[in-house]
């Protein structure tokens, strides 16, 4: 079944890092259309570095990266990285997802269709009531939804989320996972999610990649989320 779906990204024996030295190495990774992959591991293990490599923002120190032609990403960054000093409304943040399409408009206002699309994206993630609110004044969960709406605005092939549930309590984490699961199953969206939480993931994701001790190990959720595997990853 898996082999019938289009291969979007393939990493072969890749190493990613900074200044020529690898943070993660020996990475073999494949992402197919319709996958929902959780990239898990302890803090500081190199999950974000791997994510930047997948996005193409970071070039591999070694190895080979293949991406499908014209592949587009909808990126949801860690919300704590966005400075609350910016007085941007949720609508303005969502519309940033249209900036690539609007790059030749040379300062002209965005077309009405883009604004309607932004409203639809906000509605898709249950944030349509937040349009006029300042992004900085939203709760963590509301910010996360707005950032997801912005990522959807890019009309991506792959939705990439960096620690979306960080700082959430368990019910909020579960609610977010349910929403992502829905987007994966109902909308057919391919998802890669970096997280250091793994509770409740097993029935929702199609694969799990552990990033620990500079290596990446991937497999089915049944195989990768066993108590012994989790103990192995988190043992010193």
Partner 1 sequence: MIQTLREILAPEFLLHNSVVASLLVGFVCPLVGMFFVLRRAVLLGVALPQVSSAGVALAFWLHALGIHVLGHDETERGTALVGSTAFTAVALAALALSERRGSGPVEGRTGAVYAVAAALAVLFTARNPSGESHVTSLLKGEIVAVADADLRLLAVVYAAVILLVAVFRRQLVLVSFDRNMAETLMRRPWGWDLMLYGVFGLTISIGVMIVGPLTLFGFLVLPVLAVRPWASGLFSLAIASSLLGGVTALAGFALAYRADLPVGPTDVAVAFAVYVASAGARQVARS
Q: Considering the complex, what minimum distance in angstroms separates the CB of residue 78 from partner 1?
A: 8
Q: Considering the complex, what minimum distance in angstroms separates the CB of residue 86 from partner 1?
A: 5
Sign of the CA dihedral running 32, 177, 163, 90: positive
Paired tokens of 108:
């002209």
Helix (H) or strand (E) holding 18: strand 7-18
By beta-carbon proximity to partner 1, the closer residue of 94 and 233 is 94
Q: Considering the complex, what minimum distance in angstroms separates the CB of residue 7 from partner 1?
A: 20
By beta-carbon proximity to partner 1, the closer residue of 43 and 231 is 43
By beta-carbon proximity to partner 1, the closer residue of 158 and 233 is 158
Q: Considering the complex, what minimum distance in angstroms separates the CB of residue 92 from partner 1?
A: 5
Tally of CB atoms within 10 A around 64: 10
Paired tokens of 18:
């900074």
Burial of 143 (0-12, 13-18, 19+ CB in 10 A): buried
Question: CA separation (Å) from 236 to 51, 59, 103, 233?
Answer: 24, 30, 49, 8
Question: CA separation (Å) from 191 to 92, 112, 177, 188?
Answer: 24, 28, 11, 9
Q: Which residue's structure tokens are 């943040």?
A: 93
- Binding footprint of partner 1 on the chain (CB under 8 A): 55-57, 73, 75, 77, 81-83, 85-89, 91-92, 96, 99-100, 102-103, 106-107, 132, 134, 150, 154, 160, 162
By beta-carbon proximity to partner 1, the closer residue of 89 and 202 is 89
By beta-carbon proximity to partner 1, the closer residue of 115 and 215 is 115
Q: Considering the complex, what minimum distance in angstroms separates the CB of residue 156 from partner 1?
A: 9
Q: Considering the complex, what minimum distance in angstroms separates the CB of residue 230 from partner 1?
A: 29
By beta-carbon proximity to partner 1, the closer residue of 101 and 181 is 101
Instruction: Using DSSP, state whether 45 is helix, strand or coil.
Output: coil
Helix (H) or strand (E) holding 159: strand 158-162
């Amino acid at each position: 079944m898996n082999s019938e779906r289009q291969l979007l990204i393939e990493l072969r024996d890749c190493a990613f890092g900074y200044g020529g030295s690898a943070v993660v190495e020996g990475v073999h990774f494949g992402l197919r259309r319709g996958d929902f992959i959780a990239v898990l591991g302890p803090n500081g293990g190199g999950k974000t570095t791997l994510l930047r490599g997948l996005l193409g923002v970071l070039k591999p120190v070694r190895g080979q990266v293949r991406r499908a032609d014209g592949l587009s990403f909808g990126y949801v960054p860690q919300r704590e990285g966005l400075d609350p000093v910016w007085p941007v409304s949720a609508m303005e943040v969502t519309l940033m997802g249209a900036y690539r399409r609007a790059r030749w408009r040379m300062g002209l206002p965005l077309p009405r269709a883009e604004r309607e699309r932004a409203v639809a994206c906000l509605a898709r993630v249950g944030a349509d009531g937040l349009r006029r609110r300042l992004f900085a004044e939203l709760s963590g969960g509301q910010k996360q939804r707005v950032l997801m709406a912005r990522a959807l605005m890019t009309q991506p092939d792959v939705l990439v989320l960096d620690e979306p549930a960080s700082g959430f309590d368990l019910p909020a984490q579960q609610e977010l996972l349910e929403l992502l699961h829905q987007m994966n199953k109902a909308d057919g969206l391919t998802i890669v999610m970096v997280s250091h939480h793994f509770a409740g993931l097993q029935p929702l994701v199609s694969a799990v990649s552990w990033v620990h001790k500079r290596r990446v190990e991937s497999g089915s959720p049944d195989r990768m989320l066993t108590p012994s595997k989790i103990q192995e990853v988190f043992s010193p």
